[in-house]
């Protein structure tokens, strides 16, 4: 290999993309000018890779997202119920009576057909013996189920308050795939906790059933 | 029976969008900065991209690799902006004059006389001498470390075209860097 051939291969060599690497290295080992050229290229490529990036100005993320929000102002909803107005099919009332103190009353198992990729509204009823502040609700969803509006999230938590009597939690479920698994709903208040497990499964034709399993007090 | 506000946190579209893009904003900014070399222009570019993507929230939520898609949109936005600026004769005159001023008067520092040194300023100036396609491929490949295959997917340009662009970009960059060296640098020995 001569100098002309070598100098046309300098970048390929640095890219480790040279078929005749042995001949290249053989020439480089006894040619000072080609070695110098290789070193120079290695140096400026290294400097190029190390070119600094000025950090974004403070508040960059907030600023750009703020501009997007101004560009696309949020449509106003009349509460979350309106948001579910477009959900397909009927909702099912599941009577999950959860009393934080003393009482427990789980409804009989119920079955609902849900269709893959079609939202279905499920309402859970939670009964409290008194007004309760700072109640935490959490949901652990099975793999094939999502909550509409929360794509890809399998664990969700909210802080809320319960009123004395019956409280309705409306959940828009979406089966994104066929499968079977448990949804675990947990209600926490202070050091007290109540867990409900709902078995959700997709039938052969893609519809999803769910069955409430009674569980003991946690 | 009370339909209480047990569900106060149904995410709005804005919240969903924010949750989806926020983890990738710094990476997008970095890419935008590489292309524009300016914090302000980089921020504007990212903002324009987000405004373009917002109506496509559902699609964005459905892709496996949203940052790859967002990067592609960013590159295309940059190309559109660049071509629009190029059509303005005033902008191109400003760019050219800035380059030649730097190239002809590199003002070598004392420690640069005896050996080659590739300062950030010199490299940035040399990069500006490349055409947009060449500059993009060298920034993405040699600076940011994307593979040619990744760049092919981002830009939808054939691999062969990218390879030859990269080769020409490097060659041109090398020539510009040599031209910018102080005249007293090492004389090359031809062996």
Those of residues 91-150 in A touching chain B at CB distance below 8 A are 125-126, 137, 149-150
A19: phi then psi, degrees, rounded to nearest 5: -75, -40
ipTM surpasses 0.85: no
Give the gap in angstroms from C-alpha A108 to the nearest C-alpha of chain B.
20
pLDDT tens digits for range A135-152: 888 888 888 888 877 878
Query: Model pTM?
Result: 0.56
CB contact under 8 A, B3 and A170: yes
Q: Are A126 and B1 in contact (CB under 8 A)?
A: no
Distance from C-alpha of B88 to C-alpha of B102, rounded to nearest angstrom: 22
**Distances from the Cα of B34 to the Cα of A53, A109, A116, B97, angstroms:** 7, 59, 43, 21
Within 8 A of B42 by CB-CB distance, chain A residues are 56
Q: Are A160 and A177 in contact (CB under 8 A)?
A: no
For residue A196, what pLDDT band results from cuts at 50, 70 and 90?
confident
Q: Measured between CB atoms, does A11 come within 8 Å of chain B? A: yes
Residue A76 has pLDDT above 50, yes or no: no
Q: What pLDDT does B88 receive? A: 66
Q: What pLDDT does A98 receive? A: 40
Closest CA to B99 of B138, B135, B130: B130
As separate numbers, helices (DSSP H) first and strands (DSSP E) second, chain B gives 11, 0
Closest CA to A210 of A92, A57, A74, A33: A92
Residue linked to tokens 């700072």:
A134
Task: Give me the mean pLDDT over the A148-159 stretch.
Answer: 82
Q: Measured between CB atoms, does A205 come within 8 Å of chain B? A: no
Q: Measured between CB atoms, does B22 come within 8 Å of chain A? A: yes
Tell me the two tokens of residue A122: 């499920």
Q: What pLDDT does B60 receive? A: 87
Q: Which of A33-37, A74-78, A174-178, B114-118 has the highest mean pLDDT?
A: A33-37
């Amino acid at each position: 290999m001569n100098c002309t051939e070598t100098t046309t291969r300098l970048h390929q060599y640095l890219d480790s993309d040279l078929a005749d690497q042995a001949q290249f290295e053989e020439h480089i080992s006894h040619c000072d000018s080609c070695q110098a050229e290789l070193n120079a290229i290695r140096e400026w490529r290294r400097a190029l890779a190390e070119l600094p990036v000025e950090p974004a100005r403070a508040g960059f993320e907030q600023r750009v997202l703020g501009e997007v929000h101004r560009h696309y102002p949020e449509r106003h909803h009349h509460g979350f119920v309106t948001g579910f107005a477009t959900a397909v099919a009927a909702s099912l009332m599941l009577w999950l009576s959860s009393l934080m103190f003393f009482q427990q009353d789980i409804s009989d198992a119920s079955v609902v057909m849900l269709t893959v990729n079609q939202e279905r509204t499920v309402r859970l009823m939670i009964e409290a013996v008194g007004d309760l502040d700072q109640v935490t609700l959490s949901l652990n969803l099975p793999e094939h189920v999502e909550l509409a509006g929360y794509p890809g999230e399998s664990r969700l938590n909210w802080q809320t308050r319960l009123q004395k009597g019956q409280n309705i939690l409306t959940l828009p479920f979406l089966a994104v795939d066929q499968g079977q698994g448990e949804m675990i709903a947990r209600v926490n208040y202070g050091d007290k906790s109540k867990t409900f497990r709902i078995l959700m499964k997709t039938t052969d034709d893609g519809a999803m059933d769910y069955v409430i399993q009674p569980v003991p007090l946690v | 029976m009370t339909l209480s506000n047990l569900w106060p946190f149904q995410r709005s579209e804005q919240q969903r969008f924010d949750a989806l893009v926020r983890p990738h904003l710094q990476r997008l900014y970095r890419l935008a900065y590489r292309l524009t070399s300016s914090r302000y222009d980089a921020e504007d570019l990212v903002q324009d991209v987000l405004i373009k993507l917002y109506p496509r929230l559902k699609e964005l939520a459905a892709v496996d690799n949203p940052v790859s898609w967002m990067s592609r949109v960013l590159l295309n936005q940059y190309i559109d902006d660049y071509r629009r600026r190029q059509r303005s004769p005033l902008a191109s005159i400003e760019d050219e004059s800035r380059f030649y001023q730097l190239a002809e008067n590199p003002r070598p520092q004392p420690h640069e006389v005896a050996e080659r040194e590739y300062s950030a300023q010199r490299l940035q100036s040399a990069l500006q001498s490349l055409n947009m396609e060449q500059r993009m491929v060298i920034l993405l490949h040699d600076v940011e470390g994307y593979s040619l295959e990744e760049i092919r997917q981002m830009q939808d340009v054939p691999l062969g075209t990218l390879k030859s662009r990269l080769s020409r970009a490097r060659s041109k960059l090398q020539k510009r860097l040599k031209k910018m060296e102080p005249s007293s640098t090492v004389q090359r020995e031809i062996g």
